[in-house]
Amino acid sequence: MSNTLVQPVLALMVLTLLVWLVMYVRRIGAMRALRIPAQALSTPDKRSLLPEAVNRPSNNLVNLFEMPVLFYALCLLLMVGNQVDALYVQLAWAYVGLRALHSLIQCTANIVIWRFVAYLLSSLVLAAMIIRCAMHNL
């Protein structure tokens, strides 16, 4: 049963790669259209040279290396400890779905309240997974 968390973990990894791809497609396209040389964007503070919509995937990519790190570590812990059950799998898929929704919102319309709700719900799901694991391992 420990392999059942592999799919949601891989799905979140694929989401991260997709956001990374969208980031570069938008960024390179904008740099070409605006005739911005690559060196002009040598530091993160220079991203203001690009339109806000171009920077959305970049901002989201940063988000995908914050809380999801806990998700990856927890899933690995659960699989190694042979503690995966149906509830963990359901929660993992809920987490991935909410993170995908968060990414979709942030990379497109970027309506902050919608993005916040998706982020909050995903964080609560992750917190439930962590607390459940902690309670079973104390």
| Contact status, residue 19 vs residue 100, Cβ threshold 8 Å | no
84/25 Cα distance (integer angstroms): 38
Give whole-number Cα distances, 43 to 18, 20, 34, 76, in Å: 23, 18, 18, 34
Q: Please write the tens of the pLDDT for every residue from 92-102.
A: 999 999 999 99
Residue 108 has pLDDT above 80, yes or no: yes
Give the mean pLDDT of 75-80. 97
Task: Tell me the pLDDT band of 44, cut-offs 50, 70 and 90.
Answer: confident
Q: Minimum mean pLDDT among 22-26, 45-49, 108-112: which range?
A: 45-49
Give whole-number Cα distances, 131 to 34, 86, 96, 107, 126, in Å: 48, 16, 18, 30, 9
46/56 Cα distance (integer angstroms): 14
- pTM strictly above 0.85: yes
Tell me the residue ranges of DSSP E strands in the chain: none
Give the mean pLDDT of 100-110. 98
The pair phi, psi for residue 88, each rounded to 5°, is: -60, -40
Give the mean pLDDT of 93-117. 98
